[in-house]
Structure 1
Amino acid sequence: MLNFPPLYSTARCDAIARLVENNYPIEAPVSCQMLERGLNDVYRITGQNAERYIFRLSQHRARGPADVRSETAFLTHLARSGVPVAAPIETRDGRFFVETDAPEGPRPGVLFQALDGREPDAADLDDARAHGKTLAMLHNAAESFSAEEARYRLELDYLLWQPLARIGQSGLVEDPDVFKEFERLAEETSNAIKAFGELTWTYCHGDCHGFNARIDAAGEAVFFDFDDSGPGYLAYDLSVFLWANVSFGRSSTRRWSAFIEAYRAIRPIKADDFEAALHFVIVRHFWLMGEYASRADEWGRNTVRWVAREAEFLKAWQASQLSGRLL
């Protein structure tokens, strides 16, 4: 028995290579390199004939186990529907994920075809348009996908109230007045969203912030990183792109306009969904703060202490965009 059970272990590259060789129809030997570690561990896999793959080993999160079953089912549906995505690779026994035994508990892994193309350019309006087009195609295809088995629903309890609770539990916000401000902002945002009534529900990418894609030779945005996907508000899925262009000191509303223009060329947006997306920027920021706050013991408090300072951004967004309507 371990004297100090780990919160998070890191698998060796040679172990991941053996895992892939043992489970996938890829000619051995394969080589493996770690690309990044954090919310998930991501590895580059290269087969004997130089074919390239990406293996993602999911981490435990405060929300619970990764919903790889629904994620891979959705990705397979999208690929068959002609939506440009990084589809999962089947194992030899016809599954789309494997289970590993890590010291901290089971961790599922998924193998994806590696994508060609370049990383999106934050200053390129055509790249923003490409994202809007692919997200619209995704939402069109989602209309024929059954989400009955999805583990998580991207609704206000999951996106707003649970993250707020994690912020409180982390102890990162030491000033009680600041936490009261977080509570006020969450309450007012929740009430504003509920006031819209029946907002459009769809299956969301969940993390379409403009960089979970590759731009291929045809200029299309090919999406990956669906581990935050699930059934939820369409307005939230739109808002993530806006949030990524206005948070943490950024102010690129031209990219948002280009994104929406391209989305609307494929799929209309109801007025209430568009208006609600502005409120969901606050929800998205709470979601991210909750994710980081829940990792305080794992990553260290110095890494996540920025969470306590974010009330100013949220108040400024509420005042300028929701009251003054600068957009």
Structure 2
Amino acid sequence: MTPGQFGVLGHQDRRDWPPLAADEARAVLGRYGLETEDILWHGQRPFSATGLVRLVSGGRVFLKRHDRRLRDMAALAEEQDFAAWLARQGVPVTLPLRTRDGTRAVERDGWSYEAYPAIEGADRYRDVHSWGAYASEEDARAAGAMLGRVHQAARGYDAPARGHRPLISTLGPLGGPTDGASGNGALRDWAAAEPGVLAALQGKNWHEDVARALQPHEARLAPLRAAIEPLWGHGDWHGSNLFWDGAAPRVAAVMDFGMADRSCAPFDLAVAIERHAVAWLDLTTPHPVRFSQLAAFLDGYRTVRALSAVEKSLVIAFLPLCHVGFALSEVGYYGTLLGDTASAAVAYDSYLLGHARWFEADEGQNLLDWLARHL
């Protein structure tokens, strides 16, 4: 039986994209010179369809299918090039297989496909939502240390930012070091160019909504913009994008660079904190902030890469804002590409606006104050 998927409110039975079919996997992997036997497992992550395919040879391949409107060959090359750079610097990342023609991806019937060798290690967070906690402080510490390695290794990678690719962790709507203290209307201009966003926002007083929710946080970021040092980041750092050394708290491999972009280390670190430190799907719990895991994560990161004083300030400034680009892109994705107005409304109200407002309330302010003391 094919499982459901993780949606905007947690697990759901309905899938946005059809699961991979056996005949489909056979045709695609035939381009790689591989003979398939069956599909062992279907992934539950949104935005694409994935599966673990068993080969006639006894080997296994991870196959991933994208709608070309989300990821065409050029978009996949951007992600793959960054991963390849990190691999050359010694980071344990998964790199795509090549077809018999030497390409790193395949286009077929309006879809784009990538194939990866099965990773040696344990996929221990396969069934954990992207906003889920780490299993232990030890895992959090190991994840933090590996992110520090990624940021160290990313130095010198000078590919340009990815522009208006949908569903990436982009600094674009927040403004960069050349945009000045005001950001020069970065959010308005970015939203106008982002695929599907304005169409999905029709009928909403979104300029006013977003200004009210973000203004206090943008005021904190404004004087720091000039200090941003551009750096490529992973963009989606959480336990399910890491493979583990069995049950041990050691990261065996890093995967899925689909949301990577040229941002900066403090922004990417803020994304990683946002992913695991707050129980976003259950904010009514008495203690929604996972302070002990966050402390361990930051401790691991600092063992590899020290933060300067201005970088610490940037992490705090970015944390209430780092979701903005992705959340707006989700609004466009659900509302325009999928026609799922209910999920688009959740992405707008609960994610885009709700997360920013939470950081203005007591618990969010407590987290920012804690970071000011512990970063």
The TM-score range, normalised by the shorter chain, is 0.7 to 0.9
Q: How many residues align?
A: 313
State the distance in 1 between where 2:250 and 2:291 align. 21
The DSSP-based 3-state class of the residue aligned with 1:211 is helix
1:246-285 → structure 2 map (5 Å cutoff): 246=278, 248=280, 249=283, 250-285=288-323
Q: 1:229 aligned to 2:229?
A: no
Residue 147 (structure 1) aligns with: 159
Q: Contact 1:55 / 1:110 at 8 angstroms: preserved in 2?
A: yes
State the distance in 2 between where 1:247 and 1:278 align. 18
Residue 58 (structure 2) aligns with: 50
State the distance in 1 between where 2:59 and 2:240 align. 24
Corresponding letter in the other structure for 1:192: R
Deviation at 1:55, TM superposition (A): 1.2
Q: Contact 1:59 / 1:66 at 8 angstroms: preserved in 2?
A: no
Residue 325 (structure 2) aligns with: 287
Among candidates 38, 63, 67, match of residue 31 of structure 1? 38
Does the C-alpha gap of structure 1 residues 62 and 224 become closer, same or farther in structure 2, counting only changes over 3 Å? closer
Q: Contact 1:24 / 1:92 at 8 angstroms: preserved in 2?
A: yes
> C-alpha offsets along residues 196-247 of structure 1, whole Å, 9 cap, x if unaligned?
1222321110111333112223532222111111211211110112112225
State the distance in 2 between where 1:270 and 1:39 align. 36
Q: Contact 2:191 / 2:197 at 8 angstroms: preserved in 1?
A: yes
1:25-174 → structure 2 map (5 Å cutoff): 25-26=33-34, 28-32=35-39, 34-36=42-44, 38-60=46-68, 67-102=75-110, 107-115=111-119, 116-120=121-125, 122-148=134-160, 150=162, 154-157=170-173, 161=187, 162=190, 169-171=199-201
Residue 3 (structure 2) aligns with: none
Among candidates 270, 283, 286, match of residue 239 of structure 1? 270
Among candidates 226, 234, 239, match of residue 205 of structure 1? 234
Deviation at 1:296, TM superposition (A): 2.2
Structure 2: 5+ residue stretches without partners: 1-15, 126-132, 176-185
Q: Contact 1:209 / 1:240 at 8 angstroms: preserved in 2?
A: no
- Percent of aligned positions that are identical: 20
Q: Contact 1:167 / 1:289 at 8 angstroms: preserved in 2?
A: no
Q: Contact 2:123 / 2:240 at 8 angstroms: preserved in 1?
A: no
Q: Contact 1:236 / 1:277 at 8 angstroms: preserved in 2?
A: yes
Corresponding letter in the other structure for 1:142: A
Q: Contact 1:202 / 1:233 at 8 angstroms: preserved in 2?
A: yes
Q: Contact 1:134 / 1:220 at 8 angstroms: preserved in 2?
A: no
Structure 1: 5+ residue stretches without partners: 1-7
RMSD of aligned residue pairs (Cα, Å):
3.2
The DSSP-based 3-state class of the residue aligned with 1:110 is strand
Does the C-alpha gap of structure 1 residues 204 and 247 become closer, same or farther in structure 2, counting only changes over 3 Å? same
- What TM-score do the two structures reach when normalised by structure 1? 0.81
Residue 11 (structure 2) aligns with: none
Deviation at 1:41, TM superposition (A): 1.4
- What TM-score do the two structures reach when normalised by structure 2? 0.72
Residue 10 (structure 2) aligns with: none
Residue 325 (structure 1) aligns with: 369
State the distance in 1 between where 2:23 and 2:215 align. 47
